[in-house]
Amino acid sequence: MGRAMGHLLMLWVAAGMCSTSLGASAWSVNNFLITGPKAYLTYTTSVALGAQIGMEECKFQFAWERWDCPEHAFQSSTHNRLRGATRETSFIHAIRSAAVMYAVTKNCSMGDLENCGCDESQNGQTGGRGWIWGGCSDNVEFGEKISRLFVDGLEKGKDARALMNLHNNRAGRLAVRASMKRTCKCHGISGSCSIQTCWLQLADFRQMGNYLKTKYDRALKIEMDKRQLRAGNRAEGRWAPTEAFLPSAEAELIFLEGSPDYCHRNASLGIQGTEGRECLQNGRSASRREQRSCGHLCTECGLQVEERRTEAVSSCDCNFQWCCTVKCGQCRRAVSRYYCARPAGSAGPRGRGKDSAW
């Protein structure tokens, strides 16, 4: 950005702004530092919305993992000690950068923003046999530019962590591009579909979340001189990229440090631990991740699975009454929920009391 840096505008997106636009969401984009030339001020709501979408997707993807994508992971500044340079950090950067690009692109296609719209640059041209470009292609170029500007703009350093974050931001944006699919509409005499018009459309954001979760599972660790890493901010520009930075790795997530133990609470690392977390048992339509949640969160972390019986109220015995209402009764049924609990008699020094809220 060079000279433009002089005109940088720094803006803290207030928590209030997001909670009003996003209703009762427990989330906020509090402390999400947004920087960018003044001309881009109009995009801040889209950017903030994108950050929100990214956080929610992260929560969803990690719902049954020991690290459950806590809110503070998004809010701490990039060089915060709590954030580290772990595999989890790499996911946060990628999903946020992708979500900002996604939200801005969607706003462009909806005509919400002044300086962008659909990508119609190819409309009218033949795309392939039996189809021509037409309609509203999502304009990812523009969304990508805004994501670069705002999200990459958060990285002030030139050290290894900053390079790692920038790499993962970019990998996130590549995930958005990779999700684009051709969507077509038939034309021709009585729907014969002799000719189609097609446009490129972004997938649902869930698909990008799934894709990046896979990238997370096989993220690449970059080996570095430990002294450089410990020097943190001050390891300015002393990082020789390794072979992982060949173009073939550009879509991969990378990290520098091994992950800490997420089983046990460690306040100084901002880790909550898995005690008190809910897990799923006997879920009929459960995914593999859900099925192994009790083992992964509880027993493998030295905790017990505790069953708690609660009552659920739902409508039942509904009758249709002439005319035209439906009358229902209320049924109560016992449901079991499962939680990770410390085995009896082993309350550790930092153990949370039985009666404390979690």
Binding site for ligand NAG (CB under 6 A): 45-46, 49, 106-107, 112-113, 260, 266, 268-269
Q: Shortest distance, CB of residue 263 to ligand NAG, whole angstroms?
A: 11
Q: Shortest distance, CB of residue 266 to ligand NAG, whole angstroms?
A: 4
Q: Give the residue with the Cβ less far from ligand NAG, 88 or 252.
A: 88
Q: Shortest distance, CB of residue 349 to ligand NAG, whole angstroms?
A: 9
Buried b (16+ CB within 10 A) or exposed e, 161-185: bbbbbbbbbbbbbbbbbebbeeebe
Beta carbons within 8 Å of 289's beta carbon, 6+ residues apart: 64, 65
Q: Which residue is nearest to ligand NAG (CB)?
A: 112
What would you report as the CA-atom Rg of the chain, rounded to the nearest whole angstrom? Answer: 24
Strand residues in 285-324 grouped as ranges (E): 304-321
Beta carbons within 8 Å of 223's beta carbon, 6+ residues apart: 242
Q: Shortest distance, CB of residue 189 to ligand NAG, whole angstroms?
A: 37
Q: Give the residue with the Cβ less far from ligand NAG, 135 or 260.
A: 260
Q: Shortest distance, CB of residue 207 to ligand NAG, whole angstroms?
A: 18
End-to-end CA distance of the chain: 45
Q: Shortest distance, CB of residue 193 to ligand NAG, whole angstroms?
A: 31
Q: For residues 72 and 32, is the Cβ–Cβ distance under 8 A?
A: no
Q: Give the residue with the Cβ less far from ligand NAG, 268 or 356.
A: 268
Q: Pairing relation of β-strands 195-201 and 131-133? A: parallel
The full 3-state SS of 5-71, as one line of letters, equals: HHHCEEEECCHHHHHHHCCCCCCCCCCCEEEECHHHHHHHHHHHHHHHHHHHHHHHHCCCCCCCCCC
Give the H or E element holding residue 182: strand 181-187
Q: Give the residue with the Cβ less far from ligand NAG, 68 or 112.
A: 112
Q: Give the residue with the Cβ less far from ligand NAG, 93 or 265.
A: 265
* Cα torsion 29, 35, 41, 43: sign: negative
Q: Give the residue with the Cβ less far from ligand NAG, 20 or 248.
A: 20
Q: Give the residue with the Cβ less far from ligand NAG, 45 or 201.
A: 45
